[in-house]
């Protein structure tokens, strides 16, 4: 999507045939299963199904043109030989890593924030091998947040629950994952609150999410790591980005074009 265009309910004329808009957006929703790079964009245009304008139709066509630029791009899950490397026990070397980000009050219609996260399953001892993307999400928050810290904590609580569920799944299928999950966040204020569970009048309204994240940090199940905004991979799930930034994040997520020349 064009980073300079903000979709709302007022710009443009109503479509004479809104059914074609709904059919096309419905088809794009299926593509998000293998194309996480369009998750935010499809989520944005899906909000105008009941009253579609010409500006919304142009945004959908923009997504289609992007997809036609690389029709063979998709997630590639590689067998990196993690179970047979360097003689290490495969039962202790898996690590679950997550990235969380939020766009505070980014929607011009109702000023709600957008949450985004992605989760990787990595081989813990040899990080240079990378990992596979196993979970991601882009969703507008259900309430209006009063601060950026509240916005970040809502998405941190969501991704913490996702990391815990993946840990339980790995344990159920026979892998004893002893290492804590790693969560990368680019907001230092939320990390300080998670490390120091002291609440005052400015953080009382987000106390439930704070307690949930703090509990996982204090019991050793979650490790918070600050990452620079330039290296925040969940950025693509919260806002439209420039083409260079999109290409960089797609490469880091493991999205490759199977028809690209080697």
pTM of the entire structure?
0.86
Which residues, listed in sequence order, are joined to residue 224 by a DSSP beta bridge?
183
Spatial CA neighbour of 20 closest among 49, 44, 47: 49
Please report the pLDDT score of residue 197 as a whole number. Answer: 62
Q: DSSP of 150-173, one letter per residue?
A: HHHHHHHHHHHHHHHHHHHHHHHT
Task: Show contacts of 8-15: CB within 8 Å, 24+ apart.
Answer: 8/108, 8/109, 9/48, 9/51, 9/53, 9/109, 11/53, 11/55, 12/53, 12/54, 12/55, 12/56, 12/58, 13/53, 13/54, 14/51, 14/52, 14/53, 15/52, 15/53, 15/54, 15/56, 15/57
Please report the pLDDT score of residue 38 as a whole number. Answer: 95
Domain parsing of the chain, residue ranges: 18-69, 78-257
Q: Cβ–Cβ contacts within 10 Å for residue 30, how many? A: 10
Token pair of 118, please?
């992605």
Please report the pLDDT score of residue 46 as a whole number. Answer: 93
Could you tell me the mean pLDDT of each successive run of 10 residues in the chain, 262 residues long? 86 89 94 93 92 93 93 79 45 78 85 92 53 90 82 89 90 79 87 68 62 85 91 93 92 87 69
Asked: is 78-257 a CATH 3.30.420.10 domain? The reply is yes
Please report the pLDDT score of residue 88 as a whole number. Answer: 41
Please report the pLDDT score of residue 126 as a whole number. Answer: 42
């Amino acid at each position: 999507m064009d980073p300079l265009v903000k979709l709302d309910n007022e710009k443009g004329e109503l479509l004479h045939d809104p059914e074609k808009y709904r059919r096309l957006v419905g088809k794009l929703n299926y593509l998000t299963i293998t194309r996480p790079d369009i998750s935010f964009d499809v989520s944005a245009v899906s909000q105008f199904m009941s009253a579609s304008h010409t500006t919304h139709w142009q945004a959908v066509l923009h997504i289609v043109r992007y997809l036609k630029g690389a029709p063979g791009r998709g997630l590639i899950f590689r067998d990196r030989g993690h179970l047979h490397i360097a003689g290490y026990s495969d039962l202790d070397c898996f690590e679950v890593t997550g990235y969380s980000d939020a766009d505070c009050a980014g929607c011009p219609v109702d000023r709600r924030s957008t949450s985004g996260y992605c989760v990787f399953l990595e081989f813990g001892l040899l990080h240079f091998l990378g990992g596979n993307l196993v979970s991601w999400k882009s969703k507008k928050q259900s309430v209006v947040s009063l601060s950026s810290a509240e916005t970040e904590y809502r998405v941190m609580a969501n991704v913490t629950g996702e990391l815990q569920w993946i840990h339980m799944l790995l344990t159920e299928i026979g892998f004893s994952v002893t290492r804590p999950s790693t969560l990368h966040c680019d907001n230092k204020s939320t990390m300080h609150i998670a490390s120091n569970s002291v609440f005052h009048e400015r953080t009382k309204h987000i106390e439930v999410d704070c307690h949930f994240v703090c509990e996982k940090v204090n019991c050793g199940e979650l490790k918070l790591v600050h990452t620079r905004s330039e290296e925040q991979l969940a950025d693509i799930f919260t806002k439209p980005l420039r083409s260079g930034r999109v290409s960089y994040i797609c490469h880091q997520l493991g999205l490759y074009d199977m028809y690209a020349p080697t």
